[in-house]
Amino acid sequence: MKIRHPEKQNKPINPIKKKPDWIRSKLVNSKEFFLTKTIVNKNNLVTVCQEANCPNITECWSKRHATFMIMGDTCTRACAFCDVKTGKPGKLDNLEPIKISQAVKKLNLKHVVITSVDRDDLDDGGSNHFFEVINQIRKTNPNTTIEVLTPDFLRKGDAYKKVLEANPDVFNHNIETVPSLYLKVRPGSRYFASLELLKNAKMINKKIFTKSGIMVGLGEKKDEILQVMDDLKAADVDFLTIGQYLQPSVRHHPLDRYYTPEEFDELGSIAKAKGFLLVSSSPLTRSSYHADEDFAKLQQNRINNH
């Protein structure tokens, strides 16, 4: 069997701390869950739900919510927190935009989230593939709203503008952690480049909702989290997600601690007070968890604020 994380084989072993009672994902094995699974498997599609080992998969798939991961299942980066396979990716599947748009139709999705692995091997980082996927979904599903969760397109110049050209409804790029932890947690990325990407997305298209997320429990200090909130607010980000880091294996970045539900509530309240249009803060919050309901709230909040 091929090793998922060859670059982590020589990393020190970090025992995984026992999960507290409040981190228990809902196990829902309904008919809808298997329908979603069948549609994903039949079309040979990749989902971040499976690849990133998401704790909410059974709950979301039982509502027919799947987050599609385009451009393969292998990432060119090796972030210390992530469970997605790393290595040399394969060629792009030119039929993927059609396969995804058909799956969106079969699942009857009102709102779809499209993410991807990092493709540093491609000249444009995969931005044109995002463009094709968004356009094809629109063609086949004109009433479906589209959210993208993109890589940072680091050192790819203006490539990200191609994604914005397709006019997604939500442009999400996760900041992931505080600046002081970047070299350990996200060594292939740059904090200020990620901020700049979010800021530019909003400058280019004021109508797009921008979104970003941070994990807690990696060893950050509270003041640093508040600084990230301020930085994201200065970049005009609309929606902030805050969730608990869950260590995927003993070779991944060590979990520092589990935050309590009360601490998540407090961080959520602070973020709301700082003026984000929407905040989702809980132990099991993930980028695309409840994304369709959240999109409806974002629209409502924008109307209320005008």
How far apart are alpha carbons 43 and 40 in whole angstroms? Answer: 6
Torsion region of 294: left, alpha or beta (phi above 0 gives left; psi -120 to 50 gives alpha): alpha
Q: What percent of the chain has pLDDT over 70?
A: 94
CA proximity to 29, closest of 55, 57, 53, 62: 62
In this prediction, residue 236 carries a pLDDT of 97
How far apart are alpha carbons 237 and 49 in whole angstroms? Answer: 24
Tens digits of per-residue pLDDT, 61-107? 677 677 888 998 888 988 888 878 888 999 999 999 999 999 999 88
**β pairing state of 278-281 and 239-244:** parallel
Average pLDDT over residues 198-207: 96
- Chain centroid to CA 134: how far? 16
Torsion from C-alpha of 190, 126, 86, 38, nearest 10 degrees: 130
**Which of the pair, 23 or 144, is modelled with greater confidence?**
144
- In the block, residue with structure tokens 């050192």: 155
How far apart are alpha carbons 185 and 179 in whole angstroms? Answer: 10
Which of helix, strand or coil describes residue 239? strand
Tens digits of per-residue pLDDT, 17-28? 999 988 876 666
Q: Other C-beta atoms within 10 Å of 11: how many?
A: 14
Which of helix, strand or coil describes residue 298? helix
**Structure tokens belonging to residue 274:** 């700082």
Alpha carbon of 232 to those of 27, 79, 178, 189: distances in Å? 34, 21, 11, 16
* Confidence grade of residue 290 (pLDDT, cut at 50, 70, 90): confident
How far apart are alpha carbons 3 and 259 in whole angstroms? Answer: 31
CA proximity to 88, closest of 77, 101, 103: 77
State the pTM of this model: 0.92
**Structure tokens belonging to residue 176:** 């992931």
Query: For the purposes of burial, counting CB atoms within 10 Å of the CB of 135, is it exposed (0-12), middle (13-18) or buried (19 or more)?
Result: middle
Concatenated DSSP letters for 165-184? Answer: HT--SEEE---BS-GGGHHH
How far apart are alpha carbons 182 and 6 in whole angstroms? Answer: 21
How far apart are alpha carbons 91 and 226 in whole angstroms? Answer: 41
Alpha helix locations (H) across 190-221?
191-204
Q: Which domains does the chain have, with CATH numbers?
A: 41-305 (3.20.20.70)
**Which of the pair, 238 or 294, is modelled with greater confidence?**
238
Average pLDDT over residues 162-182: 97
Tens digits of per-residue pLDDT, 234-260? 999 999 999 999 998 888 899 999 999
How far apart are alpha carbons 47 and 70 in whole angstroms? Answer: 8
**In 211-225, which positions are buried (b, 16+ CB within 10 angstroms) versus exposed (e)?**
bbbbbbbbbbeeebb
